[in-house]
């Protein structure tokens, strides 16, 4: 009779999986949080609608001179403010995007590491299943042999 052998039990020798988002959030500085907030705020419909209302209000007040012409060369001052806003907003948004790119890179690396661990564990599970299949086949053959031989009682 063939002796049935099974692989050794699998030992999980890898560190526990960590949430990269939590780790990165703990390491985020105030400046990075501010950059993320600006990028989120400026990239929203709320901001676009609010800015559009302000610009329309500015244009109506300045064109009709209802209050006073604070921008005598129509819209030059408004253009200056818009340019300043763009000049300061663009680098802040780029900082946020660079940080998000670094975060994505870390998440991709973490996903790769987890996939490697999972692949190893799946390989071991398949080895165990193969060993079980061999054992079941041997047991089935032994049972078939026992059923075929006449009882000597």
User: Is 96 part of a structural domain of the chain?
Assistant: yes
Q: How many domains does the chain have?
A: 1
> How many Cβ atoms are within 10 Å of 35's Cβ, its own excluded?
22
| In-domain check, residue 110 | yes
Domain annotation covers residue 114: yes
Task: For residue 74, give the DSSP letter.
Answer: T
Report how far residue 11's alpha carbon sits from residue 14's, in angstroms, rounded to the nearest whole number.
9
Q: What is the pLDDT of residue 84?
A: 94
Give pLDDT tens digits for 85-110: 999 999 999 999 999 999 999 999 99
Q: Could you tell me if residue 1 is inside a domain?
A: no
- Answer whether residue 5 is part of any domain: no
pTM of the model: 0.64
Range of the domain at 45: 31-147
Structural domain includes residue 2:
no
* 81 within some domain: yes
């Amino acid at each position: 009779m063939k002796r049935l052998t099974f692989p050794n039990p699998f030992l999980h020798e890898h560190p526990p999986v960590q949430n990269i988002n939590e780790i990165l959030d703990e390491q985020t500085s105030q400046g990075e949080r501010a950059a993320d907030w600006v990028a989120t705020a400026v990239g929203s419909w709320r901001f676009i609608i609010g800015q559009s209302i302000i610009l329309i209000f500015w244009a109506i007040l300045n064109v009709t001179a209802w209050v006073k012409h604070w921008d005598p060369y129509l819209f030059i001052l408004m253009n200056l403010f818009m340019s300043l806003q763009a000049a300061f907003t663009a680098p802040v948004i780029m900082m946020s995007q660079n940080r998000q790119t670094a975060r994505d890179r870390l998440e991709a690396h973490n996903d790769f590491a987890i996939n490697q661990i999972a692949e190893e564990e799946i390989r071991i599970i398949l080895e165990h299943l193969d060993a079980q299949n061999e054992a079941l086949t041997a047991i089935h053959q032994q049972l078939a042999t026992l059923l075929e031989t006449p009882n000597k009682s």
